[in-house]
Structure 1
Amino acid sequence: MTTTAPPVQKAIRWILVLQVGVAILMFSTDLLGRLPSILSPSKAPTFDRPTAPGDQTRRYAPRRITTGPDTSPLPRRLVFDREGDVLTLTGAIEQGDAARFDEELNRVGTIETIRLMSPGGSVLDALDIGRRLRDERLSTEMTADGVCLSACPYILAAGTERRVHISASVGVHQHYFGESTVLPAFTAVEDIQRGQGEVMRYLDEMGVDPLVMQHALVTPPDEIYILTPNELETYGLATEIGDR
Protein backbone atom coordinates (compact mmCIF):
# COMPACT_ATOMS: atom_id res chain seq x y z
CA MET A 1 0.00 0.00 0.00
CA THR A 2 1.45 3.34 -1.09
CA THR A 3 1.10 6.31 1.21
CA THR A 4 0.98 9.85 -0.07
CA ALA A 5 2.68 12.65 1.86
CA PRO A 6 0.25 15.19 3.25
CA PRO A 7 0.09 18.49 1.30
CA VAL A 8 1.80 20.39 4.13
CA GLN A 9 4.80 18.04 4.09
CA LYS A 10 5.05 18.36 0.32
CA ALA A 11 5.00 22.15 0.61
CA ILE A 12 7.73 22.13 3.25
CA ARG A 13 9.82 19.76 1.14
CA TRP A 14 9.53 22.02 -1.91
CA ILE A 15 10.39 25.09 0.17
CA LEU A 16 13.55 23.37 1.42
CA VAL A 17 14.50 22.34 -2.12
CA LEU A 18 13.89 25.89 -3.32
CA GLN A 19 16.02 27.37 -0.52
CA VAL A 20 18.90 25.01 -1.31
CA GLY A 21 18.57 25.88 -5.01
CA VAL A 22 18.64 29.61 -4.30
CA ALA A 23 21.68 29.19 -2.02
CA ILE A 24 23.53 27.28 -4.75
CA LEU A 25 22.57 29.90 -7.33
CA MET A 26 23.74 32.76 -5.10
CA PHE A 27 27.05 31.00 -4.45
CA SER A 28 27.53 30.31 -8.16
CA THR A 29 26.67 33.91 -9.08
CA ASP A 30 29.14 35.27 -6.53
CA LEU A 31 31.83 32.83 -7.70
CA LEU A 32 31.31 33.74 -11.35
CA GLY A 33 31.59 37.41 -10.46
CA ARG A 34 34.94 36.77 -8.79
CA LEU A 35 36.21 34.29 -11.37
CA PRO A 36 37.95 36.83 -13.65
CA SER A 37 40.04 38.19 -10.78
CA ILE A 38 40.80 34.64 -9.59
CA LEU A 39 41.88 33.41 -13.03
CA SER A 40 43.59 36.65 -14.04
CA PRO A 41 44.51 38.67 -10.94
CA SER A 42 45.77 42.21 -11.28
CA LYS A 43 49.30 42.48 -12.59
CA ALA A 44 49.57 46.09 -11.44
CA PRO A 45 52.39 46.94 -9.03
CA THR A 46 51.67 46.67 -5.33
CA PHE A 47 50.23 49.67 -3.54
CA ASP A 48 53.46 50.45 -1.68
CA ARG A 49 55.33 51.17 -4.93
CA PRO A 50 55.54 54.97 -5.55
CA THR A 51 53.50 56.34 -8.45
CA ALA A 52 54.42 58.81 -11.16
CA PRO A 53 52.43 60.50 -13.94
CA GLY A 54 51.48 57.77 -16.41
CA ASP A 55 52.24 55.05 -13.86
CA GLN A 56 49.33 55.51 -11.46
CA THR A 57 47.48 52.18 -11.29
CA ARG A 58 48.20 49.99 -8.29
CA ARG A 59 46.87 46.72 -6.91
CA TYR A 60 43.99 47.28 -4.49
CA ALA A 61 43.71 45.03 -1.45
CA PRO A 62 42.09 47.22 1.22
CA ARG A 63 42.85 44.89 4.13
CA ARG A 64 46.56 44.96 3.30
CA ILE A 65 46.81 48.75 3.34
CA THR A 66 48.65 49.83 6.47
CA THR A 67 49.51 53.05 8.23
CA GLY A 68 52.01 54.44 10.69
CA PRO A 69 55.64 53.52 11.41
CA ASP A 70 54.59 50.09 12.68
CA THR A 71 52.56 49.47 9.49
CA SER A 72 49.44 48.62 11.45
CA PRO A 73 46.45 47.49 9.36
CA LEU A 74 43.63 49.99 9.11
CA PRO A 75 40.50 49.25 11.18
CA ARG A 76 37.77 47.30 9.40
CA ARG A 77 35.24 50.05 10.08
CA LEU A 78 35.53 53.74 10.83
CA VAL A 79 37.12 54.79 14.10
CA PHE A 80 36.59 58.38 15.26
CA ASP A 81 39.28 60.28 17.13
CA ARG A 82 38.95 63.93 18.16
CA GLU A 83 41.94 66.19 18.73
CA GLY A 84 41.02 69.81 19.28
CA ASP A 85 38.78 70.94 16.45
CA VAL A 86 39.84 68.03 14.19
CA LEU A 87 37.94 64.75 13.96
CA THR A 88 39.94 61.94 12.33
CA LEU A 89 38.13 59.16 10.47
CA THR A 90 40.32 56.05 10.24
CA GLY A 91 39.48 52.72 8.66
CA ALA A 92 37.12 51.14 6.17
CA ILE A 93 33.66 52.64 5.56
CA GLU A 94 31.06 50.03 6.44
CA GLN A 95 27.29 50.04 6.07
CA GLY A 96 25.86 51.99 8.99
CA ASP A 97 28.93 54.21 9.44
CA ALA A 98 27.04 57.27 8.17
CA ALA A 99 24.63 56.93 11.10
CA ARG A 100 27.57 56.44 13.46
CA PHE A 101 29.21 59.57 12.03
CA ASP A 102 26.03 61.57 12.66
CA GLU A 103 25.98 60.39 16.25
CA GLU A 104 29.66 61.23 16.72
CA LEU A 105 29.24 64.77 15.36
CA ASN A 106 26.27 65.33 17.65
CA ARG A 107 28.28 64.02 20.60
CA VAL A 108 31.61 65.85 20.17
CA GLY A 109 30.22 69.31 19.45
CA THR A 110 32.20 71.95 17.56
CA ILE A 111 34.49 70.53 14.86
CA GLU A 112 36.12 72.43 12.01
CA THR A 113 38.02 69.76 10.08
CA ILE A 114 37.61 66.10 9.15
CA ARG A 115 40.92 64.28 8.66
CA LEU A 116 40.76 61.16 6.47
CA MET A 117 42.66 57.88 6.49
CA SER A 118 40.52 55.25 4.77
CA PRO A 119 40.85 52.50 2.13
CA GLY A 120 37.19 53.05 1.17
CA GLY A 121 34.12 50.85 1.47
CA SER A 122 30.40 51.60 1.30
CA VAL A 123 29.72 54.22 -1.39
CA LEU A 124 26.26 55.12 -0.10
CA ASP A 125 27.55 55.66 3.44
CA ALA A 126 30.40 57.80 2.09
CA LEU A 127 27.90 59.99 0.21
CA ASP A 128 25.74 60.38 3.32
CA ILE A 129 28.78 61.27 5.44
CA GLY A 130 29.81 63.80 2.81
CA ARG A 131 26.38 65.44 2.73
CA ARG A 132 26.31 65.82 6.53
CA LEU A 133 29.86 67.16 6.43
CA ARG A 134 28.91 69.78 3.83
CA ASP A 135 25.76 70.74 5.76
CA GLU A 136 28.03 71.49 8.72
CA ARG A 137 30.40 73.51 6.50
CA LEU A 138 33.44 71.50 7.60
CA SER A 139 36.83 71.27 5.90
CA THR A 140 38.56 68.02 4.95
CA GLU A 141 42.26 67.24 5.01
CA MET A 142 44.83 64.52 4.46
CA THR A 143 48.18 64.52 6.21
CA ALA A 144 51.55 63.11 5.12
CA ASP A 145 51.35 59.56 3.74
CA GLY A 146 47.58 59.47 4.28
CA VAL A 147 45.36 57.29 2.09
CA CYS A 148 41.85 58.03 0.81
CA LEU A 149 40.76 55.40 -1.69
CA SER A 150 37.69 53.99 -3.41
CA ALA A 151 34.64 55.60 -1.72
CA CYS A 152 36.71 57.81 0.60
CA PRO A 153 37.35 60.58 -1.99
CA TYR A 154 33.60 61.33 -1.92
CA ILE A 155 34.00 62.35 1.73
CA LEU A 156 37.09 64.38 0.83
CA ALA A 157 35.05 66.13 -1.89
CA ALA A 158 32.52 67.43 0.64
CA GLY A 159 34.91 69.73 2.50
CA THR A 160 34.42 73.46 2.03
CA GLU A 161 38.23 73.48 1.95
CA ARG A 162 40.07 70.33 0.88
CA ARG A 163 43.71 70.24 1.95
CA VAL A 164 45.84 67.31 0.75
CA HIS A 165 49.48 66.66 1.64
CA ILE A 166 51.61 66.13 -1.44
CA SER A 167 52.66 62.66 -0.17
CA ALA A 168 49.08 61.51 0.45
CA SER A 169 47.35 59.03 -1.89
CA VAL A 170 43.86 59.70 -3.27
CA GLY A 171 42.60 56.92 -5.52
CA VAL A 172 39.48 55.94 -7.47
CA HIS A 173 38.14 52.84 -9.23
CA GLN A 174 34.93 51.05 -10.24
CA HIS A 175 32.39 50.38 -7.51
CA TYR A 176 29.79 47.79 -6.68
CA PHE A 177 26.36 49.14 -5.72
CA GLY A 178 23.84 47.26 -3.62
CA GLU A 179 23.99 43.78 -2.13
CA SER A 180 24.98 40.52 -3.77
CA THR A 181 21.64 39.04 -4.88
CA VAL A 182 20.27 36.80 -7.60
CA LEU A 183 19.12 39.41 -10.10
CA PRO A 184 18.77 39.49 -13.86
CA ALA A 185 21.80 41.00 -15.56
CA PHE A 186 19.84 44.00 -16.82
CA THR A 187 18.74 44.78 -13.24
CA ALA A 188 22.35 44.67 -12.01
CA VAL A 189 23.39 47.02 -14.81
CA GLU A 190 20.55 49.38 -13.89
CA ASP A 191 21.76 49.45 -10.27
CA ILE A 192 25.31 50.27 -11.36
CA GLN A 193 24.17 53.00 -13.75
CA ARG A 194 21.88 54.50 -11.11
CA GLY A 195 24.69 54.44 -8.56
CA GLN A 196 27.19 56.06 -10.92
CA GLY A 197 24.62 58.71 -11.81
CA GLU A 198 24.09 59.52 -8.13
CA VAL A 199 27.86 59.78 -7.58
CA MET A 200 28.25 62.18 -10.51
CA ARG A 201 25.38 64.37 -9.29
CA TYR A 202 26.92 64.38 -5.83
CA LEU A 203 30.33 65.45 -7.13
CA ASP A 204 28.73 68.26 -9.13
CA GLU A 205 26.88 69.44 -6.01
CA MET A 206 30.18 69.51 -4.11
CA GLY A 207 31.90 71.59 -6.78
CA VAL A 208 34.08 68.71 -8.02
CA ASP A 209 34.38 68.01 -11.75
CA PRO A 210 32.51 64.71 -12.44
CA LEU A 211 35.09 64.01 -15.17
CA VAL A 212 37.23 62.56 -12.40
CA MET A 213 34.98 59.52 -12.86
CA GLN A 214 36.62 58.78 -16.23
CA HIS A 215 39.55 57.33 -14.28
CA ALA A 216 37.27 55.37 -11.95
CA LEU A 217 35.21 53.80 -14.73
CA VAL A 218 38.22 52.29 -16.52
CA THR A 219 39.93 50.97 -13.37
CA PRO A 220 38.69 47.53 -12.20
CA PRO A 221 37.69 46.99 -8.55
CA ASP A 222 40.89 45.06 -7.73
CA GLU A 223 43.03 48.02 -8.85
CA ILE A 224 43.15 51.68 -7.85
CA TYR A 225 44.06 54.77 -9.88
CA ILE A 226 46.11 57.23 -7.80
CA LEU A 227 45.42 60.81 -8.82
CA THR A 228 48.40 63.13 -9.26
CA PRO A 229 48.52 66.45 -7.34
CA ASN A 230 47.81 68.23 -10.63
CA GLU A 231 44.72 66.03 -11.25
CA LEU A 232 43.49 66.62 -7.71
CA GLU A 233 43.56 70.37 -8.31
CA THR A 234 42.26 70.18 -11.88
CA TYR A 235 39.18 68.19 -10.86
CA GLY A 236 38.71 70.21 -7.68
CA LEU A 237 39.15 67.30 -5.26
CA ALA A 238 41.85 69.39 -3.54
CA THR A 239 41.68 73.13 -3.01
CA GLU A 240 45.19 73.13 -1.54
CA ILE A 241 48.20 70.84 -2.02
CA GLY A 242 50.94 71.29 0.55
CA ASP A 243 53.97 69.67 2.16
CA ARG A 244 53.00 70.20 5.79
Structure 2
Amino acid sequence: MEKLSIKAEPREVTGKQNKNIRNQGKIPVVLYGHKVDNQNLIVDRSAFHKVYADAGASTLIDLIVDAEEPLNVLIHDVQFDPVTEEVVHADLYKVNMNEEVVAEVPIVLTGEAPAVKALGGILETILTEVSIKCLPGDLIHEIKVDVSGLKELNDSIRVKDLPVPGTVKIQADPEDSVTIVTEPKVEKVEAPVVAVGEEGEVAEGEAAEGEKKDETGEGETKSEAKDKGEGGKNE
Protein backbone atom coordinates (compact mmCIF):
# COMPACT_ATOMS: atom_id res chain seq x y z
CA MET A 1 0.00 0.00 0.00
CA GLU A 2 1.28 3.43 -0.92
CA LYS A 3 2.31 5.47 2.09
CA LEU A 4 -0.33 7.94 3.20
CA SER A 5 0.31 11.54 4.15
CA ILE A 6 -1.49 14.45 5.74
CA LYS A 7 -0.68 18.14 6.01
CA ALA A 8 -0.89 20.13 9.23
CA GLU A 9 -0.34 23.70 10.37
CA PRO A 10 0.57 25.15 13.77
CA ARG A 11 -2.28 25.89 16.19
CA GLU A 12 -2.22 28.81 18.59
CA VAL A 13 -5.58 28.34 20.31
CA THR A 14 -6.39 25.67 22.89
CA GLY A 15 -9.23 24.57 25.16
CA LYS A 16 -12.72 25.87 24.40
CA GLN A 17 -11.39 27.95 21.52
CA ASN A 18 -10.91 24.71 19.58
CA LYS A 19 -14.66 24.82 18.91
CA ASN A 20 -14.06 27.60 16.38
CA ILE A 21 -11.52 25.39 14.61
CA ARG A 22 -14.01 22.54 14.36
CA ASN A 23 -16.65 24.90 12.99
CA GLN A 24 -14.23 25.67 10.16
CA GLY A 25 -14.05 21.99 9.14
CA LYS A 26 -10.74 21.32 10.85
CA ILE A 27 -9.52 19.14 13.74
CA PRO A 28 -7.13 20.05 16.58
CA VAL A 29 -4.36 17.45 16.98
CA VAL A 30 -1.30 17.08 19.18
CA LEU A 31 2.09 15.89 17.92
CA TYR A 32 4.43 14.19 20.39
CA GLY A 33 7.01 11.42 20.49
CA HIS A 34 10.61 10.72 19.55
CA LYS A 35 12.83 13.81 19.61
CA VAL A 36 10.01 16.31 19.15
CA ASP A 37 8.50 18.83 21.50
CA ASN A 38 4.76 18.58 21.95
CA GLN A 39 3.10 20.66 19.25
CA ASN A 40 -0.50 21.80 18.84
CA LEU A 41 -1.54 21.44 15.21
CA ILE A 42 -4.55 21.68 12.92
CA VAL A 43 -5.51 19.23 10.14
CA ASP A 44 -8.34 19.26 7.63
CA ARG A 45 -11.24 17.11 8.86
CA SER A 46 -12.06 15.49 5.51
CA ALA A 47 -8.41 14.69 4.82
CA PHE A 48 -7.99 13.19 8.29
CA HIS A 49 -11.11 11.03 7.97
CA LYS A 50 -9.83 9.60 4.71
CA VAL A 51 -6.33 8.89 6.03
CA TYR A 52 -7.61 7.37 9.26
CA ALA A 53 -10.06 5.12 7.41
CA ASP A 54 -7.17 3.71 5.35
CA ALA A 55 -4.39 3.71 7.95
CA GLY A 56 -6.12 2.99 11.23
CA ALA A 57 -3.80 2.90 14.23
CA SER A 58 -1.21 0.49 12.85
CA THR A 59 0.01 2.12 9.64
CA LEU A 60 2.75 4.74 9.41
CA ILE A 61 1.80 7.99 7.71
CA ASP A 62 3.80 11.05 6.68
CA LEU A 63 2.94 14.18 8.63
CA ILE A 64 3.87 17.33 6.74
CA VAL A 65 4.07 20.49 8.85
CA ASP A 66 4.66 23.61 6.79
CA ALA A 67 7.65 23.00 4.51
CA GLU A 68 9.55 20.73 6.88
CA GLU A 69 10.61 17.15 6.19
CA PRO A 70 7.77 14.62 6.62
CA LEU A 71 7.59 12.92 10.01
CA ASN A 72 6.79 9.22 10.49
CA VAL A 73 3.77 9.15 12.78
CA LEU A 74 1.05 6.81 14.00
CA ILE A 75 -2.48 7.98 14.73
CA HIS A 76 -3.32 7.56 18.42
CA ASP A 77 -6.24 8.30 20.75
CA VAL A 78 -8.85 9.44 18.26
CA GLN A 79 -11.85 11.10 19.94
CA PHE A 80 -15.31 11.20 18.36
CA ASP A 81 -18.34 13.39 18.88
CA PRO A 82 -20.98 11.15 20.55
CA VAL A 83 -23.77 12.60 18.40
CA THR A 84 -22.28 13.25 14.96
CA GLU A 85 -19.55 10.57 15.29
CA GLU A 86 -17.11 12.96 13.64
CA VAL A 87 -13.50 13.12 14.83
CA VAL A 88 -13.00 16.02 17.26
CA HIS A 89 -9.40 15.40 18.38
CA ALA A 90 -6.46 13.06 17.80
CA ASP A 91 -2.86 12.48 18.82
CA LEU A 92 -0.05 11.92 16.33
CA TYR A 93 2.86 9.90 17.70
CA LYS A 94 6.27 10.34 16.06
CA VAL A 95 8.06 7.01 16.13
CA ASN A 96 11.71 6.08 16.41
CA MET A 97 12.30 3.83 13.42
CA ASN A 98 14.87 1.85 15.44
CA GLU A 99 12.62 1.12 18.42
CA GLU A 100 9.76 -1.37 18.59
CA VAL A 101 6.23 -0.06 18.92
CA VAL A 102 2.95 -1.68 19.97
CA ALA A 103 -0.12 -1.26 17.79
CA GLU A 104 -3.63 -2.68 17.50
CA VAL A 105 -4.20 -4.53 14.23
CA PRO A 106 -7.64 -5.60 12.93
CA ILE A 107 -8.29 -9.27 12.10
CA VAL A 108 -10.14 -9.84 8.82
CA LEU A 109 -11.82 -13.21 8.15
CA THR A 110 -11.82 -14.43 4.55
CA GLY A 111 -13.24 -17.45 2.73
CA GLU A 112 -16.09 -19.74 3.76
CA ALA A 113 -16.03 -22.41 6.47
CA PRO A 114 -17.25 -25.83 5.19
CA ALA A 115 -18.61 -26.60 8.66
CA VAL A 116 -20.99 -23.67 8.26
CA LYS A 117 -22.15 -24.47 4.74
CA ALA A 118 -22.37 -28.27 5.02
CA LEU A 119 -23.14 -28.83 8.70
CA GLY A 120 -25.14 -25.73 9.54
CA GLY A 121 -22.62 -24.53 12.11
CA ILE A 122 -22.37 -20.95 13.31
CA LEU A 123 -19.10 -19.06 12.81
CA GLU A 124 -18.50 -17.03 15.96
CA THR A 125 -15.85 -14.31 16.07
CA ILE A 126 -14.03 -14.01 19.39
CA LEU A 127 -11.25 -11.53 18.52
CA THR A 128 -11.62 -8.69 16.04
CA GLU A 129 -8.18 -7.18 16.65
CA VAL A 130 -4.91 -8.04 18.35
CA SER A 131 -1.88 -6.14 19.66
CA ILE A 132 1.41 -6.58 17.84
CA LYS A 133 4.95 -5.47 18.62
CA CYS A 134 7.61 -4.75 16.01
CA LEU A 135 9.78 -2.07 14.47
CA PRO A 136 7.76 0.73 12.82
CA GLY A 137 8.97 -0.30 9.39
CA ASP A 138 7.56 -3.82 9.91
CA LEU A 139 4.06 -2.74 10.93
CA ILE A 140 1.20 -4.48 9.13
CA HIS A 141 -2.15 -2.92 8.29
CA GLU A 142 -4.30 -5.99 9.03
CA ILE A 143 -4.18 -9.76 9.55
CA LYS A 144 -6.18 -11.81 7.05
CA VAL A 145 -7.38 -15.21 8.25
CA ASP A 146 -8.73 -17.88 5.87
CA VAL A 147 -11.55 -19.87 7.52
CA SER A 148 -11.88 -22.46 4.73
CA GLY A 149 -9.99 -24.95 6.90
CA LEU A 150 -12.80 -25.12 9.46
CA LYS A 151 -14.45 -28.35 8.31
CA GLU A 152 -15.97 -29.77 11.49
CA LEU A 153 -18.14 -28.39 14.26
CA ASN A 154 -16.06 -26.91 17.10
CA ASP A 155 -13.08 -26.36 14.78
CA SER A 156 -11.35 -23.10 15.66
CA ILE A 157 -8.54 -20.73 14.75
CA ARG A 158 -6.31 -19.61 17.61
CA VAL A 159 -3.90 -16.72 18.02
CA LYS A 160 -0.99 -19.08 17.32
CA ASP A 161 -2.52 -19.79 13.89
CA LEU A 162 -2.52 -16.14 12.76
CA PRO A 163 -0.32 -15.61 9.70
CA VAL A 164 2.11 -12.79 10.53
CA PRO A 165 5.68 -12.10 9.39
CA GLY A 166 8.50 -13.37 11.58
CA THR A 167 9.40 -9.79 12.48
CA VAL A 168 6.01 -9.28 14.14
CA LYS A 169 5.24 -10.50 17.66
CA ILE A 170 1.63 -10.91 18.74
CA GLN A 171 0.95 -9.67 22.26
CA ALA A 172 -1.71 -12.23 23.24
CA ASP A 173 -2.04 -15.76 24.61
CA PRO A 174 -1.28 -18.17 21.72
CA GLU A 175 -4.16 -20.42 22.83
CA ASP A 176 -6.80 -17.67 22.74
CA SER A 177 -9.53 -18.36 20.18
CA VAL A 178 -9.96 -15.99 17.26
CA THR A 179 -12.98 -17.70 15.72
CA ILE A 180 -14.82 -21.00 16.22
CA VAL A 181 -17.61 -22.95 14.52
CA THR A 182 -20.28 -23.76 17.08
CA GLU A 183 -23.16 -26.22 16.81
CA PRO A 184 -26.46 -24.85 15.49
CA LYS A 185 -28.92 -23.91 18.19
CA VAL A 186 -32.02 -26.13 18.38
CA GLU A 187 -35.15 -24.59 19.82
CA LYS A 188 -37.05 -26.78 22.29
CA VAL A 189 -40.73 -27.40 21.48
CA GLU A 190 -42.81 -27.59 24.64
CA ALA A 191 -45.60 -30.19 24.92
CA PRO A 192 -49.16 -28.80 25.02
CA VAL A 193 -50.49 -28.21 28.53
CA VAL A 194 -53.73 -30.03 29.47
CA ALA A 195 -56.13 -28.09 31.68
CA VAL A 196 -56.20 -29.35 35.27
CA GLY A 197 -59.98 -29.25 35.39
CA GLU A 198 -60.34 -31.68 32.47
CA GLU A 199 -57.93 -34.15 34.00
CA GLY A 200 -59.79 -33.92 37.29
CA GLU A 201 -63.10 -34.75 35.63
CA VAL A 202 -61.63 -37.78 33.88
CA ALA A 203 -60.08 -39.02 37.09
CA GLU A 204 -63.37 -38.66 38.97
CA GLY A 205 -65.24 -40.63 36.28
CA GLU A 206 -62.72 -43.45 36.41
CA ALA A 207 -62.90 -43.48 40.18
CA ALA A 208 -66.70 -43.74 40.05
CA GLU A 209 -66.51 -46.78 37.76
CA GLY A 210 -64.03 -48.36 40.13
CA GLU A 211 -66.37 -47.82 43.04
CA LYS A 212 -69.22 -49.56 41.17
CA LYS A 213 -67.02 -52.57 40.49
CA ASP A 214 -65.87 -52.75 44.09
CA GLU A 215 -69.45 -52.77 45.37
CA THR A 216 -70.23 -56.02 43.49
CA GLY A 217 -67.05 -57.75 44.53
CA GLU A 218 -65.70 -58.95 41.16
CA GLY A 219 -66.64 -56.20 38.80
CA GLU A 220 -70.26 -57.49 38.42
CA THR A 221 -73.23 -55.20 38.11
CA LYS A 222 -75.82 -55.08 40.89
CA SER A 223 -78.45 -56.76 38.69
CA GLU A 224 -76.08 -59.65 37.91
CA ALA A 225 -75.39 -60.15 41.58
CA LYS A 226 -79.12 -60.10 42.39
CA ASP A 227 -79.90 -62.72 39.72
CA LYS A 228 -77.24 -65.02 41.11
CA GLY A 229 -78.64 -64.59 44.58
CA GLU A 230 -82.17 -65.47 43.53
CA GLY A 231 -80.91 -68.45 41.55
CA GLY A 232 -79.24 -69.78 44.65
CA LYS A 233 -82.46 -69.55 46.62
CA ASN A 234 -84.42 -71.42 43.93
CA GLU A 235 -81.95 -74.25 44.04
Higher relative contact order (CA 8 A, sep 6+): 1
Q: Tell me which protein shows more helix as a share of its residues.
A: 1
Assess same fold via TM > 0.5.
no
Larger Rg: 2
TM-score tier by shorter-chain length is under 0.3
